[in-house]
């Protein structure tokens, strides 16, 4: 098994008056004991609820570029404030083969028990995606049943004379594109009108 060599150590505190020093001491001692090189990514005065935090974005970019083998945090709430955000980051790490260590929760995917935790997190993420898909489908079906028209509204409405004229011009060989431009609509709508002419 390839020895882990580079750890991305992520530190975050919510306000500028707080310090990340305690996190840093514990995490750097930990990665040093493991014999890993490390790079520190520090967010100061950043709420965990924010999806985008510059040092976290930089760390995730390095994860995607395979510059980091292990993402190390003091606690999972330092990394993410919502389950959705945590699952998204954990799933991305898992798919890229990057391990995740959360010191305070004893989550360490470089070890067998930690890999099991990652599998559970992955299963929960998949379950959440399926539940979301089911809720969206149910909502769309309910909207259809209630007579709500879905999708973008038509660019314009055509009276029966315009429809007849479009069909006549198509029959005479006028291109769908030129008719769409002339009538201020999409090529798809002109095609559908043309198909219905028979």
Sign of CA dihedral 80, 86, 92, 95: positive
Q: Three-class SS of residue 102?
A: strand
Which among 14, 58, 88, 191 is annotated as catalytic?
14
Tell me the C-alpha to C-alpha distance, in Å, between residue 108 and each of 42, 115, 188, 194. Answer: 21, 7, 53, 62
Q: Which residue, chain included where needed, has tokens 């431009």?
A: 181
Q: Encode burial over 60-70: b for 16+ CB neighbours within 10 A, e otherwise.
A: bebbeeeebbb
Q: 14 an active-site residue?
A: yes
* Helix runs in 35-111, H state only: 54-64, 76-79, 83-96
The residues carrying an active-site annotation are: 14
């Amino acid at each position: 098994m390839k020895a882990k060599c580079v750890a991305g150590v992520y530190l975050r505190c919510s306000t500028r008056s707080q310090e990340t020093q305690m996190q840093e001491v514990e995490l750097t001692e930990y990665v040093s004991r493991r014999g890993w090189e490390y790079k520190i990514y520090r967010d100061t005065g950043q709420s965990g609820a924010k999806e985008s935090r510059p040092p976290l974005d930089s760390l995730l970019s390095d994860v995607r570029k395979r510059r980091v083998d292990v993402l190390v945090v003091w606690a999972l709430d330092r990394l993410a404030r919502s389950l959705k955000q945590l699952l998204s980051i954990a799933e991305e790490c898992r798919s890229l083969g990057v391990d995740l260590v959360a010191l305070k929760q004893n989550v360490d995917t470089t070890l067998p028990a930690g890999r099991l935790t990652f599998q559970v997190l992955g299963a929960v993420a998949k379950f959440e995606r399926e539940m979301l898909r089911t809720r969206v489908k149910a909502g769309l079906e309910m909207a259809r049943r209630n007579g709500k028209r879905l999708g973008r509204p038509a660019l314009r409405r055509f009276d029966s004379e315009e429809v007849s004229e479009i069909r006549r011009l198509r029959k005479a060989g006028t291109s769908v594109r030129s008719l769409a431009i002339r009538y201020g609509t999409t090529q798809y709508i002109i095609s559908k009108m043309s198909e219905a002419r028979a």
